[in-house]
Amino acid sequence: MNEKRQLLRHALATIAYRGGKPLRDAPASFANFKASPTTKTPVELLAHIGDLFEWALSICQNAQKWRDSPPLPWDQEVERFFATVEALEAFLATDASMHCAEEKLFQGPVADALTHVGQLAMLRRLADAPMRSENYFNADIAAGRVGRMQTAPKREF
Protein backbone atom coordinates (compact mmCIF):
# COMPACT_ATOMS: atom_id res chain seq x y z
CA MET A 1 0.00 0.00 0.00
CA ASN A 2 1.39 3.39 -0.92
CA GLU A 3 2.15 6.00 1.71
CA LYS A 4 -0.53 8.42 0.47
CA ARG A 5 -3.23 5.79 0.79
CA GLN A 6 -1.96 4.86 4.25
CA LEU A 7 -2.09 8.51 5.31
CA LEU A 8 -5.69 8.72 4.06
CA ARG A 9 -6.53 5.70 6.19
CA HIS A 10 -4.95 7.40 9.21
CA ALA A 11 -6.96 10.55 8.46
CA LEU A 12 -10.15 8.46 8.50
CA ALA A 13 -9.15 6.90 11.82
CA THR A 14 -8.52 10.40 13.16
CA ILE A 15 -11.98 11.52 12.02
CA ALA A 16 -13.58 8.47 13.66
CA TYR A 17 -11.71 9.10 16.91
CA ARG A 18 -12.21 12.86 17.05
CA GLY A 19 -15.71 12.67 15.59
CA GLY A 20 -16.78 10.13 18.16
CA LYS A 21 -16.07 12.50 21.06
CA PRO A 22 -18.83 15.07 20.43
CA LEU A 23 -21.26 12.26 19.55
CA ARG A 24 -20.65 10.25 22.70
CA ASP A 25 -22.93 11.06 25.62
CA ALA A 26 -24.47 14.04 23.85
CA PRO A 27 -27.69 15.15 25.53
CA ALA A 28 -30.88 14.51 23.55
CA SER A 29 -31.31 18.24 22.98
CA PHE A 30 -27.95 18.48 21.20
CA ALA A 31 -29.15 16.95 17.91
CA ASN A 32 -31.33 19.93 17.06
CA PHE A 33 -29.38 22.70 18.80
CA LYS A 34 -29.31 25.95 16.79
CA ALA A 35 -26.41 28.29 17.54
CA SER A 36 -28.06 30.90 15.32
CA PRO A 37 -30.94 31.01 12.83
CA THR A 38 -28.58 30.30 9.90
CA THR A 39 -26.36 27.55 11.33
CA LYS A 40 -26.86 23.87 10.69
CA THR A 41 -27.91 21.71 13.60
CA PRO A 42 -25.61 18.92 14.78
CA VAL A 43 -27.85 16.28 13.18
CA GLU A 44 -27.74 18.20 9.88
CA LEU A 45 -23.94 18.36 10.08
CA LEU A 46 -23.77 14.66 10.81
CA ALA A 47 -25.99 13.88 7.80
CA HIS A 48 -23.69 16.01 5.65
CA ILE A 49 -20.62 14.13 6.90
CA GLY A 50 -22.29 10.85 5.97
CA ASP A 51 -22.97 12.27 2.51
CA LEU A 52 -19.32 13.32 2.22
CA PHE A 53 -18.05 9.82 2.93
CA GLU A 54 -20.56 8.19 0.58
CA TRP A 55 -19.46 10.66 -2.10
CA ALA A 56 -15.78 9.94 -1.39
CA LEU A 57 -16.34 6.21 -1.82
CA SER A 58 -18.24 6.78 -5.06
CA ILE A 59 -15.32 8.88 -6.36
CA CYS A 60 -12.84 6.12 -5.49
CA GLN A 61 -14.99 3.59 -7.34
CA ASN A 62 -15.32 5.78 -10.45
CA ALA A 63 -19.06 6.17 -9.93
CA GLN A 64 -19.15 9.70 -8.54
CA LYS A 65 -22.52 10.56 -7.08
CA TRP A 66 -23.57 13.25 -4.63
CA ARG A 67 -26.77 13.37 -2.63
CA ASP A 68 -28.15 15.64 0.05
CA SER A 69 -29.66 13.26 2.57
CA PRO A 70 -32.37 14.49 4.90
CA PRO A 71 -31.21 13.96 8.48
CA LEU A 72 -32.18 10.73 10.16
CA PRO A 73 -32.90 10.60 13.89
CA TRP A 74 -29.76 11.31 15.92
CA ASP A 75 -28.91 7.71 16.88
CA GLN A 76 -29.28 6.60 13.27
CA GLU A 77 -27.06 9.43 12.02
CA VAL A 78 -24.41 8.48 14.58
CA GLU A 79 -24.53 4.90 13.26
CA ARG A 80 -24.40 6.19 9.69
CA PHE A 81 -21.35 8.31 10.51
CA PHE A 82 -19.37 5.28 11.59
CA ALA A 83 -20.78 3.06 8.83
CA THR A 84 -19.79 5.48 6.07
CA VAL A 85 -16.28 5.94 7.49
CA GLU A 86 -15.98 2.15 7.77
CA ALA A 87 -17.10 1.66 4.16
CA LEU A 88 -14.50 4.09 2.83
CA GLU A 89 -11.83 2.57 5.09
CA ALA A 90 -12.70 -0.92 3.82
CA PHE A 91 -12.15 0.23 0.25
CA LEU A 92 -8.87 2.00 1.06
CA ALA A 93 -7.59 -1.09 2.90
CA THR A 94 -7.74 -3.11 -0.33
CA ASP A 95 -5.50 -2.94 -3.35
CA ALA A 96 -8.40 -1.85 -5.56
CA SER A 97 -7.54 0.93 -7.97
CA MET A 98 -8.53 4.41 -6.89
CA HIS A 99 -10.09 6.51 -9.58
CA CYS A 100 -8.78 9.77 -8.15
CA ALA A 101 -5.63 11.18 -6.66
CA GLU A 102 -5.28 10.69 -2.93
CA GLU A 103 -4.57 14.41 -2.55
CA LYS A 104 -7.90 15.29 -4.19
CA LEU A 105 -9.81 12.96 -1.89
CA PHE A 106 -8.09 14.52 1.10
CA GLN A 107 -8.57 18.14 0.04
CA GLY A 108 -12.25 17.57 -0.74
CA PRO A 109 -14.44 15.24 1.33
CA VAL A 110 -11.91 14.22 3.99
CA ALA A 111 -10.86 17.77 4.91
CA ASP A 112 -14.48 18.90 4.78
CA ALA A 113 -15.41 16.15 7.26
CA LEU A 114 -12.59 17.26 9.58
CA THR A 115 -13.98 20.79 9.50
CA HIS A 116 -17.45 19.58 10.42
CA VAL A 117 -16.15 17.40 13.25
CA GLY A 118 -14.62 20.56 14.70
CA GLN A 119 -17.94 22.33 14.31
CA LEU A 120 -19.67 19.53 16.24
CA ALA A 121 -17.17 19.92 19.08
CA MET A 122 -17.71 23.68 19.13
CA LEU A 123 -21.49 23.25 19.09
CA ARG A 124 -21.27 20.96 22.13
CA ARG A 125 -19.77 23.89 24.06
CA LEU A 126 -22.31 26.37 22.72
CA ALA A 127 -25.11 23.96 23.66
CA ASP A 128 -23.77 23.99 27.23
CA ALA A 129 -22.77 20.33 26.96
CA PRO A 130 -18.99 20.53 26.53
CA MET A 131 -16.84 17.48 26.08
CA ARG A 132 -13.44 17.17 27.70
CA SER A 133 -10.42 18.42 25.80
CA GLU A 134 -7.61 16.06 24.94
CA ASN A 135 -4.03 16.04 23.73
CA TYR A 136 -4.74 14.42 20.34
CA PHE A 137 -1.04 14.16 19.53
CA ASN A 138 -0.83 11.43 22.19
CA ALA A 139 -4.12 9.74 21.30
CA ASP A 140 -4.03 6.08 20.28
CA ILE A 141 -5.28 6.49 16.71
CA ALA A 142 -4.48 3.79 14.17
CA ALA A 143 -5.35 3.27 10.53
CA GLY A 144 -8.16 0.75 10.29
CA ARG A 145 -9.76 1.63 13.65
CA VAL A 146 -12.73 3.62 12.42
CA GLY A 147 -15.73 2.16 14.25
CA ARG A 148 -17.63 3.40 17.25
CA MET A 149 -15.32 1.54 19.63
CA GLN A 150 -12.18 3.62 20.09
CA THR A 151 -9.45 3.41 22.68
CA ALA A 152 -9.88 5.50 25.80
CA PRO A 153 -8.22 8.92 25.84
CA LYS A 154 -4.75 8.93 27.38
CA ARG A 155 -5.16 12.35 28.96
CA GLU A 156 -8.22 14.56 29.01
CA PHE A 157 -8.45 17.93 30.69
CA–CA dist 79, 59 (Å, integer) = 22
Q: Percent of the chain scored above 70 by pLDDT?
A: 100
User: Helices 111-126 & 42-60, crossing angle to 10 degrees?
Assistant: 170
Domains defined along the chain, listed by start: 3-31+41-138 (1.20.120)
Residue 18: pLDDT band by 50, 70, 90 thresholds? very high
- Average pLDDT on 125-145 reads 95
Buried b (16+ CB within 10 A) or exposed e, 141-152: bebebbeeebee
pTM: 0.95
